[in-house]
A and B are shown apart, each in its own frame.
Chain A
């Protein structure tokens, strides 16, 4: 038997469009199952709003199983809410108590302009990926296993970094609005593996400098790591910093050769 939470006070950011100034609006959720996910709770709220002929709350969501990186939400001052290493879609109402006040805000960063209500435009991340988050060599079909030997520890580290789903919680949680954890994860994922070596330093320089055009700077608070639904370590930021230093030197040499 599931329990029910009663009388939840929701304080939700409503903003009609990118240029609207926006405001908090209060809602009361009379009853909700503790088995509902946070987004299902918002669905229930929206059904009610639609029934009252009001505009539903707009929020990002897609897979609802914690792997697509679409959902966002600043819940009670924490990116993706109070549950560690969990995206909003996997946060369940059992984490809250009857009578709780829940404040919901969109991600806030100049690189993530608000589209409407709780939905933000995260395409600045795409700009970073476009500038180097890939390998250009045509890879053809799936190669034979162990054709390129990769030590287990290296494969694990790259795998950990590759878990980034690009949700933007790192930027949202960062007091400086920096995207170093995202960029670091994307760089580390490729730079650790043999397949990523050919373009390692071109990639690092391009991605770091593209990041620079949109985001703040890292002051090593560690808030990003705490907010990350995939628990990506700030070790990737140190790797990015190291590779950026090397790329500045190596790429200059490369250019003067041509």
Chain B
């Protein structure tokens, strides 16, 4: 297990000497360092947190019945109409979300590569972790599970691709898209419901560490609110998981659908 001998860079000097190499645009320059990547990770994380929260709240409308949920879906498609043509605002938001997700994933990937390089030879004996939690040590795995789920979820309920969800596109009595029916159709399939529950537990685990972690990454540290950071992360993760997991259970129990 030969440890590669470190090639010594030149003595870095102070920032004054380093000024010459700084000719890149600000954001690219910031993103070139690990601390900057963590900023991107945290900021895109906040954006995605917002989406996850509003997605869950929006879905709660299924408990008020088909009409409420379908109206809400219709409202989203006509958001900012007639300032923008129908669906434009929706696609703008989707574009923003996709950009944030891609940046989040790219930052995670590049940081993982950096970290692998930082310890090419692992400890040969078992590590005895003191405080690193299951959530913090499985971020990249829970992240991948959530990503795979999102891809499936888009194919299933957003686009109704091919045989994934043949119900998508069906209209309800008012001539609106029957989102309620599509959700019930999808989650009535037991394997889909199980995948849905597992993916949301992975999401909750990811949020449990991520929400706490973003405060540190953004340098939001203040003795007055530090004790609340853990509580905020735990409650946010719990609210999301409880809300989201209730949907497949409700469908399978016959409450919805």
Contact = CB atoms under 8 A, between A and B. Distances in A.
Interface of A: 11, 13, 18-22, 24, 74, 76-78, 103, 105, 108-111, 113-114, 121, 124, 127, 130-132, 173, 175-178, 199, 201-203, 205-206, 208-210, 212-223, 225-227, 234-235, 237-245, 247-249, 251-252, 255
B115 to A, nearest CB: 4
6 contacts: A21-B1, A124-B6, A209-B12, A221-B132, A238-B215, A242-B220
Interface in B127-154: 127-133, 136-137, 139
B237 to A, nearest CB: 15
Given A248-B26, A252-B26, A216 B34 contact: yes
Contact of A235 (B8, B209, B221): B221
Contacts of A220: 136, 209, 212-213, 216-217
What interface size band does chain B fall in?
A: 35 or more
Interface centre among B126, B132, B137, B215 (most CB of A within 10 A): B132
B15 A206 contact: yes
Contact of B125 (A77, A114, A130, A132): A77
Given A20-B2, A239-B219, A177 B115 contact: yes
B124 A219 contact: no
Interface stretch (B16-24, B44-52, B55-63, B73-81): B16-24
Contacts of A78: 128, 130
Given A175-B137, A178-B115, A113 B35 contact: no
Interface of B: 1-6, 8-9, 11-16, 18-19, 22, 26, 29-30, 33-39, 111, 114-115, 117-133, 136-137, 139, 209, 212-213, 215-221, 226
Contacts of B119: 108-110, 176-177, 216
A240 B36 CA distance: 12
A114 B3 contact: yes
